[in-house]
Amino acid sequence: MINEFPRVRFAPSPTGYLHVGGLRTALYNYLFAKKNKGIFILRIEDTDRNRFVEGAVDNLIDTLNWAGLMADEGPKSGGEYGPYIQSKRLDIYQKYANELLGKGHAYRCFCTSERLGNLREEQKKLKLPQAKYDKHCLNLSKDEINKYLENKIPFTIRLNVKPGNKIIIDDIIRGRVEFDPSTVDDQVLIKSDGYPTYHLANVVDDHLMKITHVIRGEEWLSSTPKHVLLYNYFEWEIPAFAHLPLLLNSDGSKLSKRQGDVAVEDYRTKGYLKEALINFVALLGWSAGDNQELYYLNELAEKFSLERVQKSGSIFNIDKLNWLNFEHLRKKTDAELVSMLKDEVSKSEYDAVDYSDEYLLKVIHAMIERVNFLSEFITKSFYFFIAPTEFEETSRLKNWKPETPNHLQRLCDNFENVLNNTKEEFEVSLAKTSEELGIGKGKLIHPLRLAVSGVSGGPGIYEILEIIGKEETVNRIKSAIEKLS
RNA sequence: GGCGCGUUCGUCUAGUGGUCAAGGACGCCGCCCUCUCAAGGCGGAGAUCACGGGUUCGACCCCCGUACGCGCUACCA
């Protein structure tokens, strides 16, 4: 009988990092669980010993937790259906493989990889519609099998696929999908090293862990008939399936390393907010149907449904991610921003100075509309942390005229009288200077900006002055007069 | 090759037979604002709904075919 509350799992293989496609699969599982008061399980599928990567599991969990996707059950969270790492469940798979062996739904295969390779090649040459294992070892006599066993000949255990009715999958996202059993290969279930393949392990674990909904990438759709057969042979209840569309490169191929960053860690180190990444990835393949674009994890969990997941793959479009990062950054509170910027500064080349919260907050208010990333508070407005040593050439050519040094000198003199360092005072003082000199304010503002910041863009000039202060302003102007004249 | 899945503006998408001569968002362009750069406001370009047949009074929406794309086709997941 269907459980009252769903149990879903994210089952990555620990290859060293979390793929953004994996993040989305994990997210959808998580959201589905939260929406339906279910349980979100993390299971590590590390049955390929050749692909073992030291520390990969810890890294995976760390990244998932960073994103806010805490597992209810898993290697770190525990749970009553553990262990949640497949390499620690070998005896379980063995037991079930033996059960299949006993029922005649599986058989030992002693074929060498060489014979398998030749077989494949031969079938290819004959242009056979399908390359499948030829069931050679199914016909071995008891004596032959015993002889092989005694001689310790390595073997695999294969699924014994029998002809029969169409295998029907009722996919939540794709609807009814049919497969003819004749197209299903006698898949290896237990490898010669004793480890199970994905197909056996995932079916056994999903059953034992009482998984109600299998939500995974579309690349698994083709092997689902094997899984269905397995459930049938075990006489187990089949979970609901939902095969998610793939995430793609800009050329439409499956999102891969070659064409940009695929590891969640990459985005994390580049300074993307977890809120932005989650928001972005949630919208790749799913929409609530309204026009909302900005979401937090908890809102997503309220609105999510598998029925509204798109069927076709979606291209990972970095522009929108950047925009979402900007939006989420702006939604942070002052306190959060200050603390984040503090971290950022301490990691930067300006870590020697201990900037006050008040100072950093001023920088934040001045720049928040102008940055997409936290790091840009430092790179785009470096002049709040250090005096400029270089001056933008185009602005210099446009704004630095022969008479400019004299004008700025006069401005400096007037600035000396500024008492409280407020932008209003600087504004009044500059207006006064322009009047005294009989020139437009622009004639002062632009070279002043260049002198003080080294660049032509940025916050309002008076705001910049207020932040760096009178003394520093005067020093910078003087220094610029020397350097640019 | 076989099997499976998919196809609405450049991109993410809304759309479940008439309200769609297709709506929103990112990006792009223009105008306004303005000391600059942003942000913001306003506006614009941008999709013969892959193509061809049906079904229907009527199709982006249903059916069939074709094309193209993608996935799987391992003792990898």
Q: Using the structure, give the distance in angstroms from the CA atom of A293 to the C1' atom of B18, rounded to a whole number.
A: 30
Does this complex have an ipTM over 0.90? yes
**DSSP track, A455-479:** SS-SS-HHHHHHHH-HHHHHHHHHH
Average pLDDT over residues A433-454: 94
Q: Is the pLDDT of residue A207 over 90?
A: yes
Over residues A257-276, the pLDDT tens digits come to 777 788 999 999 999 999 99
Q: What are the residue boundaries of the structural domains of chain A, listed by start? A: 7-76+247-318, 89-244, 332-375, 393-484
> What is the spatial distance, in angstroms and rounded to an integer, between the CA atom of A347 and the C1' atom of B5?
47
Please give the full DSSP string across A241-290, using - where no structure is assigned: EEEEPPEE-TTSSBP-GGGS--BHHHHHHTT--HHHHHHHHHTSSB--SS
Q: What is the pLDDT of residue A364?
A: 97
CA distance A19 to A10: 13
A84-143 per-position pLDDT tens digit:
999 999 999 999 999 999 999 999 999 988 898 888 888 877 777 777 898 889 999 999
CATH number of A393-484: 1.10.10.350
Strand B contact nucleotides, protein CB < 7 Å: 1-8, 10-15, 23-27, 35-39, 69-77
Amino acid at A423: K
Closest nucleotide to A462, Cα to C1'? B35
Å between A292 CA and B48 C1'? Answer: 30
pLDDT at position A2 over 70: no
CA of A7 to C1' of B49 (A): 38
CA distance A382 to A464: 12
The residue whose CA lies nearest the C1' of nucleotide B12 is A284
| Of A257, A270, A311, A401, catalytic | A257
Q: Which nucleotide is closest, CA of A309 to its C1'? A: B13
Which amino acid is located at A148 in the chain? Y
**What residues pair up with A177 in beta bridges, in sequence order?**
A169
pTM of the predicted protein model: 0.94
* pLDDT, position A165: 92
At A433 the pLDDT is 95
Q: Which fold has domain A89-244?
A: Rossmann fold (3.40.50)
C1' of nucleotide B38: residue with nearest CA:
A370
**pLDDT mean over A285-290:** 93
Q: Which position has the token pair 């805490």?
A: A70
| Active-site annotation holds for A483 | no
Q: Which CATH number fits domain A7-76+247-318: 3.40.50.620, 3.30.300.30, 3.60.60.10, 3.30.479.10?
A: 3.40.50.620
Q: pLDDT per residue over A184-195, tens digit each?
A: 999 999 999 999
Q: What local confidence, expressed as pLDDT, does residue A257 receive?
A: 76
- Identical fold, A7-76+247-318 and A393-484: no
